Amino acid sequence: MVNNVPESMTAIEITEHGEPEVLKQCSRPVPGLEKGEVLIKTEAAGINRPDIGQRRGFYPAPPGAVDIPGLEVAGKIVEMGKDVTEWKIGDEVCALVTGGGYAQYVAIPSPQCLPAPKGLSMVEAAAIPETFFTVWTNVFDRGRLKEGESLLVHGGSSGIGTTAIQLASRLGARVFATAGNSEKCRVCESLGAERAINYKEDDFVEVFKELTDGKGVDVILDMVAGSYVPRDIELAAVEGRIILISVLGGDSSEIPLLPLIFKRIILTGSALRAQPVVNKGAIAKSLKDKAWPLIESGKVKPFIHKVFPMAEVADAHRLMESSQHIGKIVLEV
């Protein structure tokens, strides 16, 4: 035992691919540290859609990553590897991880850590990294959303959606959203969306073209894909940017190419998990500079639907898969 860190810890493992019942508590060795890493004693961990894919066997951990699920955590630094200079033992941080979040301890490259925002609980801090990193790199880096432009968020009531709505609206963009029922639409509008529509009842192309006086939307953040892609292209403004971050509606689509050419549309996508540490560190720096002041002033806040104890992780996954939640689901470790 070093610095009161035990040799073993409780974690959640995927015993086989399948339904939530395959998630079981187990004992694992506390991870050792590589150069440039810190060891965090986890207090809370966020639940995310990629965790569901990993459990079902559709989204394996990248090479070199631990098989324990969990992509974001908050806790205290209890050990530091060589060449870590920006942190000290006892610092409270939240962090993006490539895996291992559903555990009492997790080793993380130090550039992927951010100070736990002042005024937030550790549960709230754990609900930040995955969604904020994803939104920042896609909407503001790849999508180049600027003040005065418009953003459409598909899945506006999700963790990603509630984050994107808040950040974009606070930074001066017009924000629109789609969601699956009237309650979810109401929440989207309360968070900063100018208009949210129920995609089951309204045609988002028709509604948002009218609201933009026929111009169309500058940036579209799409986690549905499938049949949405050609409709995104129809709705996109000249020089529009469409960013795909998931394929909940299917991973293939028939794309009309002429509108891409004539409207000079950029159709792109990205996945965050397998990107190198240097990329994630750059995103973390941007978040600290641009988003942290908004969080610490109370202008932006993670929207948490429910918190589960780690022993009830299967119930947390069931809720995520039901799509009945609004915002984030968090495990208390």
Q: How far apart are CA 105 and CA 225, in angstroms?
A: 36
pTM (predicted TM-score): 0.95
pLDDT per position in the chain (333 positions), as tens? 346 899 999 999 999 999 999 999 999 999 999 999 999 999 999 999 999 999 999 999 999 899 999 999 999 999 999 999 999 999 999 999 999 999 999 999 999 999 999 999 999 999 999 999 999 999 999 999 999 999 999 999 999 999 999 999 999 999 999 999 999 999 999 999 999 999 999 999 999 999 999 999 999 999 999 999 999 999 999 999 999 999 999 999 999 999 999 999 999 999 999 999 999 999 999 999 999 999 999 999 999 999 999 999 999 999 999 999 999 999 999
CA atoms within 13 A on the CB side of 164: 33
| Residue 311 φ/ψ, nearest 5 degrees | -65, -20
Contact 189, 195 (CB under 8 A): yes
Nearest Cα neighbor of 109 from 28, 48, 54, 40 is: 40
One-letter amino acid at 166 equals: Q
Q: How many CB atoms lie within 10 A of CB 7?
A: 9
User: What torsion, rounded to 10 degrees, do the Cα atoms 290, 246, 252, 275 define?
Assistant: 70
Sequence-distant (6+) residues with CB within 8 A of 301 are 120, 124, 166, 295
Domains in the chain (CATH in brackets) are 8-128+273-332 (3.90.180.10), 132-269 (3.40.50.720)
Contact 71, 141 (CB under 8 A): no
Q: How far is CA 295 from the centre of its chain?
A: 16
One-letter amino acid at 259 equals: P
Q: How far apart are CA 284 and CA 263, in angstroms?
A: 33
Q: How many CB atoms lie within 10 A of CB 96?
A: 29
Q: How many CB atoms lie within 10 A of CB 79?
A: 21
